Amino acid sequence: MHCLRYTLGLIPWRVPEILSLLPILLLASLVLFFTGLIILLWTLNDIVAAISTALISCLFIFFAFSTIAPSLWLDCPYKSPQAL
């Protein structure tokens, strides 16, 4: 019964592909949220915005590294769902 449900129900509806997209969508929403937060903070207070921008930039650099590093080194342990 399980095999029948998997091959006739989940595969034609591409459920595994949809589930694999969820971490990428979550990361995209996080990037959009932090971008909006930085824009808002620069309109409110320059000191808080500068500190927040520095911290969020470090986070974005880590995301960029974990995306690009697996394509440069095959044995890289830092693999993320959005890796190329």
Residue 48 carries which side chain, given as an amino acid letter? Answer: V
17-43 residue pLDDT tens: 888 888 889 989 999 999 999 999 999
Question: What span, in angstroms and rounded, lies between the C-alpha atoms of 68 and 60?
Answer: 12
Confidence band, pLDDT 50/70/90 cuts, at residue 44: very high
| Mean pLDDT of the residues in the chain | 87
Looking at per-residue confidence, does 60 or 17 come out higher?
60
- pTM equals 0.74
pLDDT at 13: 83
Q: Hunting for tokens 């927040």 — which residue is that?
A: 52
Residue 14's region, left for phi above 0, alpha for psi from -120 to 50, else beta, is left
Residue 12: both structure tokens together? 């034609």
pLDDT at 84: 59
Q: Hunting for tokens 């589930």 — which residue is that?
A: 19
